[in-house]
């Protein structure tokens, strides 16, 4: 132990990242202040979690009011799941009122994406919030600039349909950033999409740049929408860094006979 103080933080991090489980990491971090400082840094924890996939804590039912159902004994995650259920606010009551106006759209890496209809009644452009229910923190994203929004013309309805608070003419979801600035908070990205007649419009927001920018639509998508009067994106799936949808055709022109 006499040579331990000579070890640099990088060497200590390489040692700690190799402990077999989060419980072992917690015990090791209690050994001294240096271990605790390294083991609790966000950058180290992101690396540790990438190498040691955590056990599931429960099931989140995002439809309507989000409800978290924690893992029950004898599942090994039961104690941590119960602690999460008690500490986190999955009702998102910390968002600006009224609470019922917010609609849960997506969740990824501990973050949740919600939006609410604007006063003007648009079902495409909404207030967007990215939040952390465990620490009850949220960030309101800036509105999509007018020059970008002008490219969205008569988007097809994607969810809801009653014209009320649940109706949306856009698909909006979280994505991982390709880079890591090494700051205290990991980066995130939000993708906004709308299906208009004959084209797909997509915008990208990065927490690093704090700006919206246009994304080039995939060329093959035009083959699916060229003669289609209505397109609804189905269940979204994610694999190998890509997003996939099952396309639903809501209406075809009567003269489109092949």
CA distances from 210 to 102, 198, 236 (A): 22, 30, 25
pLDDT of residue 112: 94
pLDDT of residue 43: 87
Q: Mean per-residue pLDDT for 231-239?
A: 75
- Residue whose C-alpha is closest to residue 106's, from 174, 192, 175: 174
Q: Where are the domains of the chain?
A: 4-51, 55-87, 92-251
pLDDT of residue 183: 54
Secondary structure of residue 66 in the 3-state scheme: coil
Count of H helices and E strands in the chain?
A: 7, 12
Query: Quick one: what percent of the chain has pLDDT higher than 70?
Result: 80
Which residues fall within 8 angstroms of residue 104, CB to CB, at 6 or more apart? 62, 66, 92, 112, 113, 114
Peptide bond into 247 cis (omega under 30): no
pLDDT band at 257 (very low <50, low <70, confident <90, very high): very low
């Amino acid at each position: 132990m006499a040579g331990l103080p000579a070890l640099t933080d990088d060497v200590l991090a390489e040692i700690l990242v190799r402990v077999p489980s989060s419980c072992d990491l917690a015990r090791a971090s209690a050994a001294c202040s240096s271990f605790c400082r390294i083991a609790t840094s966000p950058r180290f924890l992101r690396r540790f979690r990438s190498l040691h996939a955590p056990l599931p804590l429960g099931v989140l039912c995002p439809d309507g009011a989000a409800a978290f159902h924690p893992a029950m004994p004898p599942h090994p995650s039961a104690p941590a799941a119960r602690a999460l259920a008690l500490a986190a606010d999955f009702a998102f009551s910390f968002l600006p009122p009224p609470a019922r106006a917010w609609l849960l759209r997506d969740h990824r890496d501990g973050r949740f994406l919600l939006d609410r209809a604007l006063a003007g009644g648009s079902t495409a452009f909404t207030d967007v919030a990215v939040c952390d229910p465990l620490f009850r923190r949220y960030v309101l994203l800036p509105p999509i600039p007018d020059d970008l929004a002008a490219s969205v013309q008569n988007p097809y309805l994607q969810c809801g349909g009653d014209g009320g608070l649940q109706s949306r003419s856009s698909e909006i979801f979280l994505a991982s950033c390709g880079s890591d600035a090494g700051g205290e908070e990991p980066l995130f990205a939000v993708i906004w999409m709308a299906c208009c007649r004959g084209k797909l419009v997509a915008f990208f927001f990065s927490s690093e740049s704090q700006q919206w920018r246009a994304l080039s639509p995939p060329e093959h998508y035009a083959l699916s929408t060229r003669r289609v009067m209505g397109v609804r994106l189905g269940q979204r799936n994610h694999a190998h860094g890509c997003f996939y949808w099952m396309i639903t055709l809501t209406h075809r022109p009567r003269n489109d006979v092949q």
